[in-house]
Amino acid sequence: MDNLFEKIKHWTRGLLLKIAKDLKTDIPKFKSVGRSKNLFSKEIKIPIYVSLIFTIIAIYGMLVIGIGISCRSLIATAILIVLSVVFFIVQIQNKEKTIIKDNDAIVLMCLLFIIAMLIFQILKEFLSPFLSPVAAFSLMAAMLLSTRIGILYAVCLSLFVTFLNDMKFEVFLMMLCSGIVVVTNVQDIRKRSDFVNIGVKTAFANVVIMTMFYFFGSYSIFQFKHNLLHGVLNGAITIVILLVCIPLFEKIFSRMTNIKLIELSDFNNPLLRRLMLEAPGTYHHSIMTADIAEQAANIVNENSLLARVGSYYHDIGKLKNPKYFIENQMTGRNLHDDLNPIISSLILTAHVKDGTVLAKKYNMDNEIINIIEQHHGTTPIHIFYHRALEISSNVNIEDFRYPGPKPTTRVSAIVMVADSCEAACRTIYEPTSVRIRNTVERIINNKFVDEQFSECSITLKDLKLIRDSIISTIMGIYHARILYK
């Protein structure tokens, strides 16, 4: 009889393992980089080389037409274009790998160049070169692509505008200065009204440069007043272009900006409201994780706002079965006590896939979706693995791992560590500083040994800084709790 019972148990275990494996292979593997959708939720797939060649030809044509077609202009423009392309490629090839692999980002990069050149041509022909909105396009590149690309835009577009306007040095200096001034302020832009500040800064930079040239004797007083007016108007044009184009490109190319992140951090957002009402434990855990991740991201010069907002949403997949997650079990009864460890592991690991599906349904951006699907990497759920080992020795730890992928960005890695540390530290009995320190160190070491950071560019130095930041934030949280008890 015992033998028969053992056989049934063995057969049931085998069946459960098979179901578990099948379910894991059913989980769709989402592309972590470069997945995006346009306004009509269709992928834009223009081969990178097609976009680049088209853009180079378009800019070359516009420059040649702008300065007048001749043998000399054809050669000079060709040299300028080659130098600009080489300069651009050298600057981004190693530093902007994510953007280089992203078709949409390349299309956006090319489109910004072409639109900017068209506007410069029109302004040059009908109004004044001093109205050319180099600052607006540099800032758009900085917000939608990266700060480095924003600075490259400021340099290249200033060169092109100068080339179109008889190589006037004052045009180059004015465009470059206003471009650099606004790009260096990109991190401070958190709401649409900040564009007004950007316009004022652009106008101010233009006025300063023009005043300098006036005192050098480059203009008469009449020309100075005239140019001054155009310099101020340039600031106003910058505001209008930013207000119109940023939301448009954010939507069409699914690009993440600080403004969009601030909008997503609003607790009235439907997903956050659902989390608050349906899974209050997870909601509280997400807010704590956000505090920890934000501080850690700041320390290693990463986008702290993305770390905060990504943390708010990282566990939205728990909305499907909130009661199966310990932080939402208010009654003290653990539903997993009655379940087979394999089933328990399946329910827990599914929250990553469920979260990704939910985020896509709510049209969340790629950066947030990547954080959701990578926040556990491929770590195993030790508690259920060990429970399964108590039942049988024939258990494979691979069956208890999250589906991954591992974090591909430093922000995802930070959220992963912050999430685990927050969850572990809340279970510490009488959380002293030594216990918190030991727990955080153990978690980071385990993840490192388990190669969870092998797909992202996080360094040992970063991990040390992140560890110290997390320890200090968590100690701050518990210190405050003890004080106000």
Smallest gap from Cβ 314 to Fe ion, in A, equals 6
Smallest gap from Cβ 355 to Fe ion, in A, equals 8
Smallest gap from Cβ 383 to Fe ion, in A, equals 14
Smallest gap from Cβ 282 to Fe ion, in A, equals 7
Instruction: Select 315 or 354, whichever has its Cβ closest to Fe ion.
Output: 315
SS3 content of the chain, % helix, strand, coil (to 5): 75, 0, 25
Instruction: Select 170 or 315, whichever has its Cβ closest to Fe ion.
Output: 315
Instruction: Select 210 or 417, whichever has its Cβ closest to Fe ion.
Output: 417
Q: Which residues contact 229 (CB under 8 A, 6 or more apart)?
A: none
Instruction: Select 294 or 315, whichever has its Cβ closest to Fe ion.
Output: 315
298, exposed or middle or buried, with CB in 10 Å at 0-12, 13-18, 19+? middle
Instruction: Select 294 or 419, whichever has its Cβ closest to Fe ion.
Output: 419
Torsion of CA 359, 363, 367, 369, to 10 degrees: 20
Longest dimension (CA), the chain: 109
Look up residue 148 and give its two tokens.
């480095």
16, exposed or middle or buried, with CB in 10 Å at 0-12, 13-18, 19+? middle
Instruction: Select 302 or 419, whichever has its Cβ closest to Fe ion.
Output: 419
- DSSP single-letter state for residue 406: P
Smallest gap from Cβ 349 to Fe ion, in A, equals 9
3-state secondary structure of 339: coil
342, exposed or middle or buried, with CB in 10 Å at 0-12, 13-18, 19+? buried
C-alpha atoms less than 13 angstroms from C-alpha of 353 in its C-beta half-sphere: 15
Smallest gap from Cβ 381 to Fe ion, in A, equals 11
Residues of this chain that interact with Fe ion (CB under 5 A) are: 315, 419
